[in-house]
Amino acid sequence: MPSAKILEAKKAEVAAIAERLQGACAGVLVDYKGINVADDTALRKELREAGVEYTVTKNTMIELAIKDTELAGLSDCLAGTTALATSTDDYVAAARILAKFANTHKDFTIKSGFLDNEVISLEKIDSLAKLPSREVLLATVCNAFNAPISAFARAVQAIVDKGGEATAEAAAE
């Protein structure tokens, strides 16, 4: 039987995972086997820059953390090697980065994921992965709002330019 110190450490780890999952707006579970250290380091760097927390976690710890929660459906995929990627504010970052990585590494696979404490299918994860980043979406919206204003400004400028030509011709006569 494990010592009380080890049991307390494991309980604290389960509580931390449960808190992390409850605080996340989105998350993805992956099977990370077969990737080398250089690729893993590059992946972790990209995830960190996007604000995604990525950790290799024991299946039993995740199982205990999701027990009796809305995320209990994730337990079906808890076999083999498991890494957990969660984001507190970006719904698509983890799915986009991990799906891109999985496409270039044959042994790296996405197991499951969740959005707002609801387990989602692999198809939904794939759909999320295809969405552009938040910055690209914001730029698209800004361009959509800016286009009519720019067209109006060009039309007004054309009227001013035409009016200026007519005034110059009248002054010349």
Q: What is the pLDDT of residues 23-70, one digit of tens each?
A: 888 899 999 888 889 999 999 999 999 899 999 989 999 898 888 888
Question: What residue ranges of the chain have pLDDT lower than 50?
Answer: 168, 170-172
**Cα separation values, 56 from 128, 137, 150, 164, Å:** 22, 31, 50, 69
Mean pLDDT over all residues of the chain?
83
User: Do 88 and 138 lie in a common domain?
Assistant: no
Q: Which domain holds residue 166?
A: 132-173
Q: Residue 165 has what pLDDT?
A: 55
Q: Residue 67 has what pLDDT?
A: 86
User: Do 96 and 138 lie in a common domain?
Assistant: no
Number of domains in the chain: 2
In terms of pTM, does the model score above 0.85? no
Of 131, 146, 164, the one marking the end of a domain is 131
